Amino acid sequence: MLRNYRLKNYNFKLIINVLALGIMGLVFIHSADASYVSKQAMGLVMGLIVMAVVSLIDFQIFTKNAVPLYVINMILLIGVRLFGREVNNAKRWFSLGPLGTFQPSELTKIIMIIVVTAFLMRHEDDLSEPKTLGKLALICAPPLYMILQQPNLSTTLDICFIIVAMVFVAGLDSKLIVRVVAVGVPLLAVFLWYVQQPYQILLKNHQVERIMSFLHPEDYADSTALQTNNSVMAIGSGGLFGKGFGSNTISDVSSSDVNLVSEQQTDFIFSVVGEEFGFVGCVIVILVLLALVMQCIQVARKAHNREGMLVAVGIASYMGFQSFINIGVATGVMPNTGLPLPFISYGLSSMLSASICIGLLLNINLQGNRY
């Protein structure tokens, strides 16, 4: 199962990129809440080990075992629904005692990339057929439904975007894409109108409030929109170069009796970056994340087969979309969702998921240089 590769053929640019993000994350988390640093450092070390091991495993072993992985994933999602730890009316985590928690939906992102890749490889010639797309929808629906019921709308949308990007790159008929967009845009407008009605049944109350606070922030300034507004204020207060390390007086809840920005070590870590390191710090973080996504795309372009290309595209979509949404939420240009910033936000599950993805990318890159 483990293969031998030349050390010189490793994509060290990608590894350095990940290390840079991981170290940045430790710095920002220390400033947000120092009590989380030791666990995050342990998670980073574990992530690097997992990344190294996965990089030595032929990625095609995973795609060949897509069905067992899919079944395991469904068992985990059902298990967390039945026996998971409930936080703020959401069951998304298994409790691991002193180690923290494990969030199966983070693993779902990788497994769905593998499952969709295996499906697209089998349907290269009839991808644009309605029957084929229907099969794909039926395969994807169960895990997406289970995640949506946790409830976790943001991760559901994240995985949907990854799947759409992979199907698009796989060669979906452009005419079909135009038709989908032509129908989808009006449907989105109808959806946004419908969820604002008192009789809507599609979304839970807190999800509706997040959308409404984004569309009408002035009406929710003291409730749902408060955290996002304070995040924007924290970022703006940093100016060009920031207030300096450890000076997050706005984004740090503990520095005030007022609940300014909670979860600043996870979903709103970018508010800490903006306040302490200013516009320059924000740009540096965005550029390093952009470099990571570009590295993923480069691996996809140079993949020695279609299978590797599709996996790499899925991972690029994962890293890019999640980064965009996290920063978009912190800066107020997106509704409050709850997606972590890859390798920067606190969270062992997200760190493990992202590390496995990078390990797969490293192996795809090595496949063309096998000796």
Model confidence over 164-173: pLDDT tens digits? 999 999 988 8
pLDDT tens per residue across span 88-117: 777 888 888 777 788 999 999 999 999 999
Say if 171 falls within a structural domain.
yes
Query: Shortest CA distance to 272 belongs to which of 243, 297, 309?
Result: 243
- For 124, counting Cβ atoms within 10 Å of its Cβ (0-12 exposed, 13-18 middle, 19+ buried), the class is exposed
pLDDT tens per residue across span 35-77: 889 989 999 999 999 999 999 999 999 999 999 999 999 999 9
Say if 37 falls within a structural domain.
yes
Say if 1 falls within a structural domain.
no
Most confident of 107-116, 147-156, 321-330: 107-116
Residue 224: pLDDT over 50: yes
**Where on the phi/psi map is residue 89: left (φ > 0), alpha (ψ -120 to 50), or beta?**
left
Q: What is the mean pLDDT of residues 235-243?
A: 86
* pLDDT for 258: 47
Phi, psi of 313 (to 5 degrees): -65, -40
Total structural domains within the chain: 1
Phi, psi of 198 (to 5 degrees): -65, -20
* pLDDT for 127: 87
Say if 2 falls within a structural domain.
no
Q: What is the mean pLDDT of residues 209-237?
A: 73
Q: What is the mean pLDDT of residues 184-196?
A: 84
> How distant, in Å, are the alpha carbons of 90, 312, 366 from that of 363?
36, 10, 5
Say if 240 falls within a structural domain.
yes
Domain encompassing residue 257? 7-367
Percent of the chain with pLDDT over 90: 50
Percent of the chain with pLDDT over 70: 90
pTM of the model: 0.90
Lowest-pLDDT range of 8-22, 60-74, 82-96, 134-148: 82-96
Convert 163-187 to b/e letters by CB count within 10 Å (16 or more is b): bebbbebbebeeeeeeeeeeeeeee
The Cα–Cα gap between 276 and 248 comes to 6
Say if 135 falls within a structural domain.
yes
pLDDT tens per residue across span 247-258: 665 555 434 444
* pLDDT for 257: 41
Phi, psi of 102 (to 5 degrees): -125, 130
What is the chain's mean pLDDT, rounded? Answer: 86
Say if 298 falls within a structural domain.
yes
Per the document, the length of the chain is: 371
